[in-house]
Structure 1
Amino acid sequence: MKTFVAVLRGADHIFEFVNDAHKEAFGERGLIGKARADMFPELNQQGFAAAPRRAFETGRTVYMQSKAADFDVMPDGLQRSRRLDISYEPMRDAKGEVTGLYVHGRDVTTIGDHPLEARATSAGLDALSDAELLTLHLYHGTLDTDAAERAEYLLSRFGSLRGVLSASIPSLMQLAPEHLRSTSRSLSASTALNLKIVREIGRRVLFRRIASRPVLASSSTLKAYLHGILAGEPREKFMVLFLDKSLRLIVCETLAEGTVSHTQVYTREVLRRAIELSASAMILVHNHPSGRGTFSTSDVMMTDAIVSGADALEIEVIDHLLVAGEEVVSLVETRGGPPRGRRAH
């Protein structure tokens, strides 16, 4: 069931519905566009009038979570007993006076009823395909019945689950022209942000793992981390992992970002940052959005320039890693030896 959005004007409880989802939520009841709260007297008797009144009086947002609602009359096919999540956020004029409430609500009665939830509970989330996992995530965020269609379109547009999570919020929201935003080819700002939150949580978990011990002792985790954050990026990025004397990670920073096929990297900026961090070693990293898994001539020349400058400062450049498609390629392994100019031990 879709989320409903409305504006509550004044103490007379006149709702101005921003979308049409209220019809699915509560039925027509002869209402078009606007509704008075007294059209649902049974809800007022169950305490629903108290929340907006409190929001008006205090000027603070009031939340009702999983609030039981028993309707006297509902159209065929709609449940009379429901659970609703509703928030009432004060709207103010130029003088700061509360003039209305922004109302955001959704029916949470069916949470736990999606068929994929039973499979996930019995067999585990790893039993779900990428499309099913994304479907379940979108469903829990919106309770929309077209979550599967949205998931299918997202995977088709961005190529993979990693591509979906790597996409920018604007690109996730602009899946369709403005007049088609109600279709499955669009995401709300909150849903798009929620996908980015999922990606960031995963990135931080991996980051903690590589930061907890010497980087070279966990090279597989390091590659998984770099692949996770760069494989789906639409533009080239150049990053540096700055390490201490024990080869533990000080910080991983993006120092340059370019087009789909080129990034301008300045040797002096890399070395300046290494000195600021008192780094003893570095690992250079960049990606090829095209998926090409070979270092270009300019990539190699840039690496050699940084190695030469770092040698003069007694800073070791351990490797240059390239994230391309499903691969993480090592320049050291490609060359069959350390970067040129690297100090011997």
Structure 2
Amino acid sequence: MSLKRLPAESMPREKLLSHGPQSLTDAELLAIFLRTGTQGMNVLELASHLLQEFGSLRALFSAPEEKFCAYKGLGQAKYVQLRAVLEMTQRYLAETLKRGEALTSPQQTKLYLSGLLRDKQREEFFVLFLDNQHRVICGEPLFQGTIDAASVYPREVVKRALEHNSAALILAHNHPSGVAEPSQSDRRITRRISDALALVDIRVLDHFVVGDGEVISFAERGWI
């Protein structure tokens, strides 16, 4: 069926304008991004087909260039456009934190860290350095490990915190397995880093563990 034959309220753009983006399905959101269909397939049908082929929006968006471009209706131009959209989203979230909302909006912090770390194939240990008003100075990946674990050295965290003149930190790392539940090793290294930083009057405010569909906060668990 042509989109022109659909009721106006069923068309993705009109539905978004009337009811907001949260009212759209994954296929409808993807259809807006794609803009046009292919011969014999309107844009909504194409979007639904692609989601079925890839399995999810996330799988589609994280697909390597060769696989993404191999599908009819996509191609290199769409791949470039998609990467630009994803990068703009990440920069938007980063700018929100830089305006000092990291602690007043913990959900925004989780979104930023999840977008940054969730799809990493190797474990990565990331640190947000904060000033004495708990505004973000900068964020840095400090350690990378194997698919299972990262070697984290508290002295390096202390060194970078002092170089940035930080008053507090937020720690984060991903679990490439997709399971966000912190391990005993995660809890031990958090305590070692907290104890090392306490010697120079720098606080660890939280440690986030990023999994496939969940971000766990040590502070919310009462572990910090």
Give the alignment's TM-score, normalised by structure 1: 0.53
Equivalent residue in structure 2 for 1:126, among 22, 34, 43: 22
**Equivalent position of 1:278 in the other structure:** 165
Deviations 1:40-95 (A, max 9, x none): xxxxxxxxxxxxxxxxxxxxxxxxxxxxxxxxxxxxxxxxxxxxxxxxxxxxxxxx
Q: Alpha carbons of 1:281 and 1:121: their partners in 2 closer, same or farther (altered >3 Å)?
A: closer
- CA root-mean-square deviation: 3.1
- Name the CA distance, whole Å, in 1 between partners of 2:54 and 2:154: 33
- The one-letter code matched in structure 2 to 1:238 is F
Higher relative contact order (CA 8 A, sep 6+): 2
- The one-letter code matched in structure 2 to 1:139 is R
Q: Are residues 1:262 and 2:155 paired?
A: no
Q: Are residues 1:137 and 2:33 paired?
A: yes
**Equivalent position of 1:240 in the other structure:** 127
Q: Are residues 1:173 and 2:63 paired?
A: no
Q: Which runs of 5+ in 2 are unaligned?
A: 1-10
- Name the CA distance, whole Å, in 2 between partners of 1:148 and 1:231: 28
Q: State whether residues 293 and 323 of structure 1, in contact with CA within 8 Å, keep that contact through their aligned partners in structure 2.
A: yes
- The one-letter code matched in structure 1 to 2:105 is S
Secondary structure of residue in 1 paired with 2:201: coil
Q: Which runs of 5+ in 1 are unaligned?
A: 1-114, 339-345
Q: Are residues 1:161 and 2:57 paired?
A: yes
**Equivalent position of 2:114 in the other structure:** 227
Q: State whether residues 162 and 232 of structure 1, in contact with CA within 8 Å, keep that contact through their aligned partners in structure 2.
A: no
Q: State whether residues 174 and 180 of structure 2, in contact with CA within 8 Å, keep that contact through their aligned partners in structure 1.
A: no
**Equivalent position of 2:180 in the other structure:** 293
Deviations 1:256-275 (A, max 9, x none): 33444333333333222212
Q: State whether residues 173 and 187 of structure 1, in contact with CA within 8 Å, keep that contact through their aligned partners in structure 2.
A: no
Q: Are residues 1:196 and 2:83 paired?
A: yes
Which structure is larger by alpha-carbon Rg, 1 or 2? 1
Q: State whether residues 303 and 320 of structure 1, in contact with CA within 8 Å, keep that contact through their aligned partners in structure 2.
A: yes
- Name the CA distance, whole Å, in 2 between partners of 1:234 and 1:252: 20
Secondary structure of residue in 2 paired with 1:294: coil
Q: Are residues 1:208 and 2:98 paired?
A: no
Secondary structure of residue in 1 paired with 2:91: helix
- Name the CA distance, whole Å, in 2 between partners of 1:121 and 1:333: 36
How far apart are 1:242 and its partner, in Å?
A: 0.4
- Name the CA distance, whole Å, in 1 between partners of 2:122 and 2:54: 14
Greater fraction of residues in helix: 2
- Name the CA distance, whole Å, in 2 between partners of 1:148 and 1:257: 40
- Name the CA distance, whole Å, in 2 between partners of 1:273 and 1:218: 25
Q: Are residues 1:307 and 2:200 paired?
A: no
- Name the CA distance, whole Å, in 2 between partners of 1:262 and 1:158: 28
Greater fraction of residues in strand: 1
Q: State whether residues 173 and 192 of structure 1, in contact with CA within 8 Å, keep that contact through their aligned partners in structure 2.
A: no
Aligned residues: 214
Give the fraction of aligned pairs with identical amino acids, expressed as a percent: 36
Q: State whether residues 286 and 321 of structure 1, in contact with CA within 8 Å, keep that contact through their aligned partners in structure 2.
A: yes
Give the alignment's TM-score, normalised by structure 2: 0.78
- Name the CA distance, whole Å, in 2 between partners of 1:310 and 1:258: 22
How far apart are 1:282 and its partner, in Å?
A: 0.6
